[in-house]
Chains A and B, each alone.
Chain A
Amino acid sequence: MLYINCPHCGMRSQNEFSYGGDASVKRPELNKEVSDQEWDNFVYNRKSLRGKHLELWQHISGCRQWIKVERDTATHEIFRTFKSDEEVA
């Protein structure tokens, strides 16, 4: 079970969180013309990469904040965690 550092609450076990997928996906702006391909990429197409991955988790049984977690999908190592509005350098 992963041990995730919630930037708001501290170290918490994975069973307090729910997974939210790739954090690098950007929703196309509202009221903007979006091509089929662009929309497809936003809704369906994910890289499923091996290695460092920036992903979303919600601290659902805690502060209910969505956070960003930089995790290695192969080793499960967590490098850094970020608040939802924090810039990831």
Chain B
Amino acid sequence: MTQAFRIENGGLINRHKKLSFKFNGKTYLGYEGDTLASALLANGVHLVGRSFKYHRPRGFFGAGVDEPYAVVQLFRNGETEPNIKATEQELFEGLEAKSVNCWPSVNFDIGAINNFLKIFLPAGFYYKTFMWPKSFWYRIYEPFIRKAAGLGVASTKHDKERYEHKYEYCDLLIAGSGPSGLASAYAAAKNGAKVILAEDKPRFGGSLLTSDVNIGNQSGKDWADGIVAELKTMPNVVVKNRSQIFGYYDHNMLVMSEKVSDHLPSTKKYHPNKRLWYIRAKEVLISSGSIERPIVFGNNDTPGVMLSSAAKEYLKVYSVLVGRKPLVFTNNDSGYETAIEFKKHGVDPVVLDSRKNSESEIIDEAKNLGINIKNSYVVVAAQGYKKVKSADIASISEDKKQLGKIENIQCDCICVSGFWTPTIHLASQSGNKTKFKEEIDAFVTGQSKQNEITLGAANGVFSLEETLKTSFTAGSELSKKITENDNKIPIPNVVEKKSSQHDKFWCVPLPKGKNYKRFLDFQNDVAVSDVEIALREGYRSIEHVKRYTTLGMATDQGKTSNLNGLQLVSEIENKVVPAVGHTTFRPPYTPVSIGAIVGREVGKHSKPTRKSPMHSWHEKNNAVFVDAGVWLRPRYYKRGNENLFEGSKREAKNVRTNVGVCDVTTLGKIDIKGPDAAELLNRVYTNAWLKLPVGKARYGLMLREDGIVMDDGTTTRISENHYHMTTTTAQAANVLSHLEYYLQLVWPELNVNVVSTTEQWAGAAIAGPKSRDLLQKLFPNSDVSNEGLPFMGYMEGDLFGVKARIYRISFSGELAYEVNVESDYGNFMWEKIIEVGEEFNIQPYGTEALSTLRIEMGHVAGSELDGRTIPFDNALEGLVSKKKDFIGKRSLQRSAFIAKDRQRIVGVVPLDKQTSIPEGSHLVKDDKAPLPNPKLGHISASCWSVEYDNPFSLAILKDGKNMIGQKLFAMSPLKNKIIPVEIVSSHYVDPKGERVRS
């Protein structure tokens, strides 16, 4: 394939490196330094997609971030990504892209029938058409819209790419590397400020890459290259290309997406695909430039109609002719600059200028070159379906209301310039009160809310000389405040051509008898007629018009459409534009990959993994792990071909008959010290704590102020003013914060310190009838008899030379102990217990057996203490002191909490003694009752009772206290089960609690 539209010489592409790529299955050639758009245009490809609503053929409209049409599906190294702008995607060897929004192909698109069913899709069509009949939505409308619309397909595969996040701080963050960005960065850098300069394009320089100016006796581009080269050598400056600052958030936090690898065929090893920068800047300089705006005319969406600045960029940067017979349609001098470039490359353009007469250096140059200029002329309509073939043009009266006789003129592209719109998005996101500037018919920034300043074209200043002057000054003034250096930079002299006043003209009237579509928003297919309908139907607020018509709501956020939309509304409403006001700009300025936002926090990295010191032992002994919050805990230790049910049953049984050991390191532990420690516990727990002797543990229950149970656990008095508190694994962090809250804010007079020691202690629970015999062998010098270490007793011991803490507490309901040693000795302790325990037939047990043991004992845990239950619900009202006050006590008097039929924990056994009841099942009286079947309670936890060898569950049941012996049904629609059950006591095994005291 030849690149028929590529000019022989010039441009900024690397002609030594040819690249081949595929578009819609066809292979083309381009050069290194091309974008996908410039390479396609070099090959004469103008048709890239179909429009969103009417599926009209769409080409290229811009050359960068403002592009509304050329959105493609990209394929790279086995991955695919939708919503990629061809004008931003750099070419690489082997690139593959496809058109979106067309089915079955870009050349023959079934959806284009919408174009002929206009009556079907006017403004508000989403709201009107698809509202009725209601049942049609799921079956007919939604699938139809989904098939016909959309901007590509998200990959369903796991994304192999890596995305990174980075936090950065700087004195000055500068968005955009055009003349104002470079000048301010340079001045600030010379004052020693820490500067980050961000450019979204691959090349630095902004408008200097395409404008015909001189700075300090060199071309604008050479000056820019020199400044960038020098900035890159300075240690206090970070210069980043391919980096888009897309969001301006509170307190001068900005977020930037750096495309690290998108321009390469595949990501390099150890490199991310994209890097998201969170930058906290003392000062922000916005030099984001301006975007040319279109003039609205008939069929202005035909491929071949594009911004004149884009045509110039394709020519000057990429050496690509967007046409050989160009028509330039302008209301200002910028169109002439494009015409001059065409002429210099041997192509004869025709210029239509809406102004009656205008004089400037630029126009003089065009005239001297012999360019055909027609004043007071406009394009009425583009002709051609998949590509511009000609244009209907006409003269226009001075009041812009009357068109002359329509003539047809041959052309293959129409380059439009409706003057410039400053890019104020970032300033607006920051909270800047923008204002309308009459001279340029656009909004500029006003009062800053944060430390931000907008410079150059982004601030509506289009003179290079003034831009450089203000930017050098701003850069040095702002940096001086921070670094207190004051290096004066001489401002270089500037040679630029002066332009004349633009014409306040933005929309060509319809000729009599014609009904051309005149588009405002090219990506969402919003035409002048749609906005007219919206206003006729009574929509007045610009925010409402936007939503009703979808004007400016596409992925380009109306970069080329907003102002023309405002002009239209203001004209019809007979208001001035500032009174209409613009819609709110919100981040992101450009689409950002979800992957970049998520960063490294995916899969295993979505949360930290915490492991106990005994983890490697568990691994070596075939533990099957389960996530317990961020901890990994053994669920059971697999023997042979055992499954979870068999393994956990064996382990639980062994605890009931011999002895088992369980890793309980994950339990939250808080060290509490100070003379008022007992008083704190007494206020925090529902039960009494003032009289707990040294060397004793007590079970405690903690409420929130609203009376709901927050957590439970045992706390041990180690010495006079020293307590060791345990919390559940899940609530460890919350309980610490809770204690700190009361100590620091509510009762600062209490002299107590709290600190988390969860990770300082390794814990092993030894449970079962033979646990005392084992303990005696582990601690031969300690008296661990029932008298020496009674239930809820505590002592310190010597475990083969390692200091240990021994607590006689039980979660399993068996005679049990918990041994703690410093974490580093955890594995030593564990191995000793296993080794010494061998003669007692010890087996390690996991969380599944642990659950089984506590459930059949009726001990509550997280599934009952679920943030919805009070002490009574858990049959723990005996722990609620009547004498003293504590956190949440007053709430327990709420009428719902003292209701006669208050919910309460019960045991549930299936009548057939066979069918396990799924957790979460609802308990109902009548399984045949019509829906919604009144729910009496729910199953909170289920196990297979090893004591009775049948299923057993715990439930929170309405009026549970009086329901023992009742027959109900457990219903699980999820598992499609209806199980007849009997309600029994929650204390299924050892109801008197004799074993723990034995």
When chains A and B are docked, how far (Å) is the Cα of A13 from the Cα of B249?
12
Within 8 A of B (CB), among A51-69: 56, 58, 60, 64-66
| CB-CB nearest in chain A for B891 | A43
Cβ–Cβ contact A42 & B280, under 8 A: no
Main secondary structure of the interface of A (DSSP, over half): loop
- Residue A34 lies at the interface, judged by CB distance under 8 Å to chain B: yes
Q: For residue B128, which residues in chain A have a CB less than 8 angstroms away from its CB?
A: none
With a CB–CB cut-off of 8 A, which chain A residues contact B884?
31
Partner of A85, one of B251, B252, B449, B748: B748
Q: Tell yes or no: A1 within 8 A of B by CB.
A: yes
Is the CB–CB distance between B745 and A1 below 8 Å? Answer: no
> Given the complex of chains A and B, what is the CA–CA distance between A7 and B250 in angstroms?
20
Q: List B residues 241-290 near A (Cβ within 8 Å).
A: 249-253, 278, 280
Chain A residues positioned under 8 Å from B431 (CB to CB): 75
Q: Which of B167, B253, B705, B740 contacts A43 (CB 8 A)?
A: B705
In the complex with contacts A1-B249, A2-B250, A31-B885, A84-B449 CB distance below 8 A: no
Inter-chain CA distance A65–B748, complex, in Å, is 12
The contact string, 1 if C-beta is below 8 Å from chain A, for chain B 598-612, is 000000000000000
Whether the pair B740, A66 counts as a contact (CB closer than 8 A) is yes
The verdict on B706 contacting chain A, using a C-beta distance below 8 Å, is yes
Please give, as numbers and ranges, the residues of chain B lying within 8 Å of A78 by CB-CB distance.
251
Chain A neighbourhood of B885, CB < 8 A:
30-31
Q: Which residue of chain A lies nearest to B737 when distances are taken between CB atoms in the complex?
A: A58
Given the known interface contacts A1-B250, A1-B253, A60-B737, the answer about A66 and B744 at a Cβ–Cβ threshold of 8 Å is: yes
A18 near B737 with CB under 8 A, answer yes
A65 surroundings in chain B (CB, below 8 A): 744
Contact, CB under 8 Å: A1 / B741: no
Tell me whether A64 and B278 are in contact in the complex, defined as CB-CB below 8 angstroms, given that A31-B885, A39-B891, A43-B706 are known contacts: no
Q: Does A76 contact B (CB under 8 A)?
A: yes
Residue B345 interfacial (CB < 8 Å)? no
Contact of B740 among A1, A13, A31, A58 (CB under 8 A): A58
Which residues in window 862-918 of B have CB below 8 A to A? 884-885, 890-891
Cα(A13)–Cα(B683), bound, Å: 34
**Cβ of A47 under 8 Å from chain B:** no
B746 touches A (CB below 8 Å): yes
Contact status A42-B683, CB under 8 Å: no
Please name the residue on chain A nearest to B741 by beta carbon. Answer: A66
CA distance A43 to B885 in the complex (A): 16
A11 to B: closest C-beta gap in Å: 9
A29–B36 Cα distance when bound, in Å, is: 71
Chain A's nearest CB lies how many Å from the CB of B773? 44
In the complex with contacts A13-B280, A43-B706, A66-B745 CB distance below 8 A: yes
A83: shortest Cβ distance to chain B, in Å?
9
User: How far apart sit A28 and B253, CA to CA, in the bound complex (Å)?
Assistant: 40
Q: For residue B890, which residues in chain A have a CB less than 8 angstroms away from its CB?
A: 28, 34, 39
Complex Cα spacing A66 to B705, Å: 18
A residues 1-53 with Cβ under 8 Å of B? Answer: 1-3, 13, 18, 20, 27-28, 30-31, 34, 39, 42-44
**Docked complex Cα distance between A34 and B892 (Å):** 13
**What residue in chain A is nearest B704 (Cβ atoms)?**
A43
> Can you identify 25 A-B contacts, CB atoms within 8 angstroms?
A1-B249, A1-B250, A1-B253, A2-B250, A3-B250, A3-B251, A3-B252, A3-B253, A13-B167, A27-B705, A30-B683, A30-B885, A39-B890, A39-B891, A43-B706, A43-B891, A44-B706, A58-B737, A64-B740, A66-B740, A66-B741, A66-B744, A75-B431, A85-B744, A85-B748
Give me the 5 closest cross-chain CB pairs, A-B, nearest first. A3-B251, A30-B885, A84-B744, A76-B250, A31-B885
Chain A residues in the interface with B (C-beta under 8 A)? 1-3, 13, 18, 20, 27-28, 30-31, 34, 39, 42-44, 56, 58, 60, 64-66, 75-76, 78, 84-85
